[in-house]
């Protein structure tokens, strides 16, 4: 009957209005994915035949299909706001239940766990104490502890000693004196760190000697830390110095041949005792426990001005957490006040063979269903998974202009189906009024 046909149209138009209204209501919801209604016609069918002239019985709502198209990415001022540029979902732990979301407005709770606004914990691949990422997936946590200091184990100095410099004699009548620049040709200094994170100044004095032969050149290296001789040196700066310096030998091409008889250019300093400003031992590791290598393997002796091309060491003092950075691969790096950084974990992303099979669970999240298939969890920017954009969020993919047009269409459909019922009523009244 036309009444039932019109009524089915009203129900379908009402669902269309509901879905369109929900899309419009969430046009500004981060990570929201719009939906659309799919309709199907109804026919009265027999078991063996559909009849010779079937008349439709109206319409029904077959499904509400979600659209997982990419939304626009906009920038924010929060380092833990994350957007997925491509496919995939964030994995959230909601009290043991896994949920999946595209909304990446994250922060930290009182325990340092990365959470969304509903306190669901973000899942990722955790890192060990040294910052090495593992394959273990767990709740991501931002440790606010100070970064422990690391003592210097390697000091690399890349420099050129001027081959044109004059030879300086450092015989006992005219010994090397760090306070007398006429007793050395070049000097450079840098800081290293002891096991407690205290800085100490290492000073390298280079003195040119008589050549050992026609194809070699000799230099002496006096090494001091905080004004005291270490390594191959003996004596004291408070008495007439008596140093036993390191010997550097360069070949005829200006390349370093040996450093203290080591062909690799590495000098091991193992007699250092870290001291405080009063020249008393400061409690840090000393002797063999404070051994570091001075690497001069790239040093040269060319006929050019003295210059230090590079000087770096691997130690650092303690540092406090100063900020966070997130890479395109979803790796969360902690920045510390000592200039160091360390990875704390990597955000995990999930993909599904049928994302449309996911069931919406509210709070802009979905749960896995039989129709969606099992989640395949991996690292961002690998396989089919998208890359992570930090300090960004993915906006709703709702096209507001199109939804407003759909709203008009749904309204017209509702009115037209209501007209069908009204017309049927008028026809029925006509029949009832027959005499």
Report how many helices (DSSP H) and strands (DSSP E) the chain contains, helices first. Answer: 2, 29
Q: Mean per-residue pLDDT for 297-318?
A: 95
| CB atoms closer than 10 angstroms to residue 139 | 18
pLDDT at 161 over 90: yes
Write down all domains in the chain, each with its CATH number in brackets: 2-69+397-432 (no CATH), 79-145+348-394 (no CATH), 154-313 (2.60.98.20)
Distance CA 431, CA 407 (A): 37
pLDDT class of 126 with cuts at 50, 70, 90: very high
Query: Which pLDDT does position 213 carry in this prediction?
Result: 63
pLDDT at 357 over 80: yes
Structure tokens at 316: 């650092």
Query: Which pLDDT does position 350 carry in this prediction?
Result: 97
Q: Mean per-residue pLDDT for 180-196?
A: 94
Distance CA 10, CA 105 (A): 39
Q: Mean per-residue pLDDT for 216-245?
A: 72
pLDDT class of 50 with cuts at 50, 70, 90: low
Among 46-60, 112-126, 370-384, name the one with the lowest average pLDDT: 46-60
What tens digit of pLDDT does each residue of 275-287 get? 998 888 999 998 8
Q: Over the Cα atoms of the chain, what is R_g?
A: 38
Distance CA 99, CA 109 (A): 18
Q: What is the distance, to the nearest Å, from the Cα of residue 379 to the centroid of all Cα atoms in its chain?
A: 12
Query: Which pLDDT does position 53 carry in this prediction?
Result: 56
Query: Which pLDDT does position 435 carry in this prediction?
Result: 63
* The pairing of beta strand 292-295 with beta strand 154-160: parallel
Distance CA 389, CA 84 (A): 6
Q: Can you state the percent helix, strand and coil of the chain, rounding each to 5? A: 15, 40, 45
In DSSP notation, 358-425 reads PEEEETTEEE--TTT---EEE-TTSTTBPEEEETEEEPP---HHHHHHHHHHHHHHHHHHHHHHHHHH
pTM: 0.77
Structure tokens at 322: 């100063």
Q: Mean per-residue pLDDT for 287-302?
A: 92
Query: Which pLDDT does position 229 carry in this prediction?
Result: 87
**What integer best gives the mean pLDDT of the chain?**
88
Q: Which of 389, 325, 363 has the alpha carbon at shortest distance from 88?
A: 389
Query: Which pLDDT does position 51 carry in this prediction?
Result: 56
Q: Which whole-number Å values give the CA distances from 41 to 64, 193, 237, 271, 389, in the listed order?
A: 15, 79, 100, 91, 44
**Buried residues in 184-199 as b, exposed as e (16+ CB within 10 A):** bbbeeebebbbbebbe
């Amino acid at each position: 009957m036309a009444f039932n046909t019109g009524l089915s149209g009203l129900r379908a138009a009402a669902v269309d209005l509901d879905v369109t209204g929900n899309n419009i209501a969430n046009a500004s919801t981060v990570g929201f994915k719009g939906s659309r209604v799919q309709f199907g016609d109804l026919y009265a069918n027999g078991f063996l035949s559909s009849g010779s002239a079937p008349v439709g019985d109206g319409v029904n709502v077959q499904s509400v299909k979600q659209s997982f198209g990419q939304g626009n990415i906009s920038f924010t001022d929060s380092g833990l706001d994350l957007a997925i540029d491509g496919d995939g979902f964030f994995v959230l732990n909601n009290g043991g239940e896994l949920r999946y979301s595209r909304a990446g407005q994250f922060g930290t709770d009182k325990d340092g766990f990365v959470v969304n606004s509903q306190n669901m914990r973000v899942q990722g691949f955790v890192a060990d104490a040294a910052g090495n990422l593992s394959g273990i997936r767990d709740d991501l946590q931002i440790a606010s502890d100070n970064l422990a200091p690391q003592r210097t184990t390697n000091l690399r100095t890349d420099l050129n000693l001027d081959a044109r410099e004059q030879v300086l004699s450092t015989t006992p009548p005219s010994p090397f004196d760090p306070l007398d620049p006429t007793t050395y040709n070049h000097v450079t200094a840098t800081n290293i760190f002891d096991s407690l994170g205290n800085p100490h100044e290492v000073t390298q004095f280079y003195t040119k000697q008589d050549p050992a032969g026609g194809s070699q050149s000799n230099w002496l290296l006096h090494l001091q830390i905080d004004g005291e001789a270490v390594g191959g040196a003996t004596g004291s700066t408070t008495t007439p110095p008596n140093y036993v310096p390191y010997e550097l030998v360069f070949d005829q091409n200006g390349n370093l041949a040996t450093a203290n008889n080591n062909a690799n250019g590495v000098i091991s300093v193992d007699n250092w005792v870290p001291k405080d400003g009063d020249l008393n031992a400061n409690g840090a590791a000393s002797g063999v426990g404070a051994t570091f290598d001075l690497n001069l393997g790239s040093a040269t002796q060319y006929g050019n001005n003295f210059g230090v091309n590079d000087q770096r060491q691997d130690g650092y003092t303690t540092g406090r957490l100063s900020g966070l950075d997130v890479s395109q691969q979803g790796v969360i790096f902690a920045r510390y006040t000592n200039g160091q950084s360390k990875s704390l974990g990597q955000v995990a992303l999930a993909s599904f063979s049928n994302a449309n099979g996911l069931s919406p669970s509210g709070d802009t999240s979905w749960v896995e269903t039989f129709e969606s298939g099992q989640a395949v969890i991996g690292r961002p920017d690998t396989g089919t998974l998208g890359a992570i954009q930090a300090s960004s969020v993915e906006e709703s993919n709702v096209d507001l202009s199109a939804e407003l047009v759909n709203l008009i269409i749904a309204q017209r459909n509702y009115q037209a189906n209501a007209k069908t019922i009204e017309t049927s009523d008028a026809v029925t009244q006509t029949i009832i009024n027959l005499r």
